[in-house]
Structure 1
Amino acid sequence: MQIQETMPLGVLVERRKIDHPWQEFAWHVFGVLPGARDDADWETISMEEKQAVYLAKTMNVDLYQRETEGYKNNLESGQPAIFVVLRQGEEEDEHEVDPFLITACPYEAADYLESGEEIVEAVPMPDGVRIWVENFVREHHVEQKFKKRRLRRQEDGLARRIPVRGGRA
């Protein structure tokens, strides 16, 4: 049975006016907010001339027993983070980005960097979330013993020749 715990977090997204010939705004993850309302939908938190911060939506951070190694490395990094994955918004949307995923696992976040289509940003992990993740890791993490892999013999039975220094192969 897979052990899982969930915590809802509000995703704060910043829109900042930039001086660029093809793009009017830059979008960034501003932070995450524990205890945000479930029905958040691009609510304006602050609005200034060149910057706006929105509570884009509330999403669940899920912790899984099989990912405790990633959580542990995140916590031990010295700057624990929550990773937010943004995707391009639909054309009819007012916003150019849409929060797609939030995670405490840096390995899961790194998977989304490969395509180059998503924006992956790390924001500081709030203290309450950090304590929750620490408790989950303490309770469910099992250290994996390192196993050295052995080389397989070739199926055709031919031995590989390995040159020996100063001698013949």
Structure 2
Amino acid sequence: MPSRPSLSVAVVMRRERIDNRWQPWRWTLADVVPHEDVFGTAPRLLLQTGAEERWLFPAFAVELFRDDVEGYHLNLSSPAPCWFVHWRPDEEPGADGHMLARPVDVSLSYHDAGRWLDAQENVDQVPVPAPVREWVQAFVQEHYQPEPKRRRRPDSFRPLTDRFGNPASVSTEKPRGGGGGHG
């Protein structure tokens, strides 16, 4: 069985100081970069100042699946194709007293991002560089088959309803009987 196309990437998360007395720090996605062996496999601090920290989370596999080709197509056809990174804060503070924001998944699919957002997870995005866009575009061109447009039924075939959505009928017959009695 042939392997799926994949890239190995690392995620850079940024912890920045904000002017808020209830939440003095916030986490955001800083970048997604190609993974390099020198990164190792454990998260590590790249930068630390009084205003921010940057953490590297290495070794994420981004695979392309044929059954999600529409999700890649939607991403590529957007005004700004991007990486989607699903992340979660640690449950417990570390030795320094603060919690890390740990990436869980990295994807190029709108469908993945939509599922994560529907589950009320944290999802951030950053632009995809041109070589990655071209790689995904080649996969989409090879595998994407747009669904055929379905013919819309003419309105004359639609059931009649009143303004409340209840079934209605129209009669072309003249009323019979009459009740007024001309005698």
Amino acid of the structure 1 residue aligned with 2:81: P
Helix, strand or coil at the partner of 1:74? helix
- Show the counterpart of 1:135: 138
Aligned Cα root-mean-square deviation (Å) = 2.6
- Show the counterpart of 1:162: 167
Scaled by the length of structure 1, the TM-score of the pair is 0.79
Following the alignment from structure 1 to structure 2, what is the Cα–Cα distance between the partners of residues 31 and 128?
Answer: 15
Following the alignment from structure 1 to structure 2, what is the Cα–Cα distance between the partners of residues 72 and 2?
Answer: 22
Amino acid of the structure 1 residue aligned with 2:167: I
Listed one character per residue, the Cα deviations across residues 30-87 of structure 1 (whole Å, up to 9, x for unaligned) are: 1100133362433233333201212123211111011111111111112100100011
CA contact (8 A) 2:84 2:107 kept: yes
Listed one character per residue, the Cα deviations across residues 83-129 of structure 1 (whole Å, up to 9, x for unaligned) are: 0001121315453321001100011111111232x210111112221
User: What stretches of structure 1 of length at least 5 have no aligned partner?
Assistant: 151-160
The answer to whether residue 83 in structure 2 is matched with residue 82 in structure 1 is yes
The answer to whether residue 69 in structure 2 is matched with residue 65 in structure 1 is no
The answer to whether residue 31 in structure 2 is matched with residue 31 in structure 1 is yes
Following the alignment from structure 2 to structure 1, what is the Cα–Cα distance between the partners of residues 93 and 141?
Answer: 45
- Show the counterpart of 1:8: 8
Scaled by the length of structure 2, the TM-score of the pair is 0.74
Following the alignment from structure 1 to structure 2, what is the Cα–Cα distance between the partners of residues 45 and 34?
Answer: 16
Q: From 145, 148, 152, give the equivalent of 1:145.
A: 148
Following the alignment from structure 1 to structure 2, what is the Cα–Cα distance between the partners of residues 149 and 63?
Answer: 34
* Higher RCO, Cα 8 Å, sep 6+: 1
Structure 1 residues 63 and 91: CA distance shift in structure 2, 3 A: same
How many residues end up aligned between the 2 structures?
Answer: 156
> Kindly, what percent of the aligned residue pairs are identical?
28
C-alpha deviation, 1:18, in angstroms: 1.5
CA contact (8 A) 1:2 1:65 kept: no
Q: Quick check: 38-47 or 64-73, which moved more?
A: 38-47
User: What stretches of structure 2 of length at least 5 have no aligned partner?
Assistant: 154-165, 172-183
- Show the counterpart of 2:119: 115
Larger strand proportion of the pair = 1
CA contact (8 A) 1:86 1:120 kept: yes
Following the alignment from structure 1 to structure 2, what is the Cα–Cα distance between the partners of residues 107 and 95?
Answer: 29
Following the alignment from structure 1 to structure 2, what is the Cα–Cα distance between the partners of residues 149 and 101?
Answer: 39
Following the alignment from structure 2 to structure 1, what is the Cα–Cα distance between the partners of residues 79 and 119?
Answer: 28
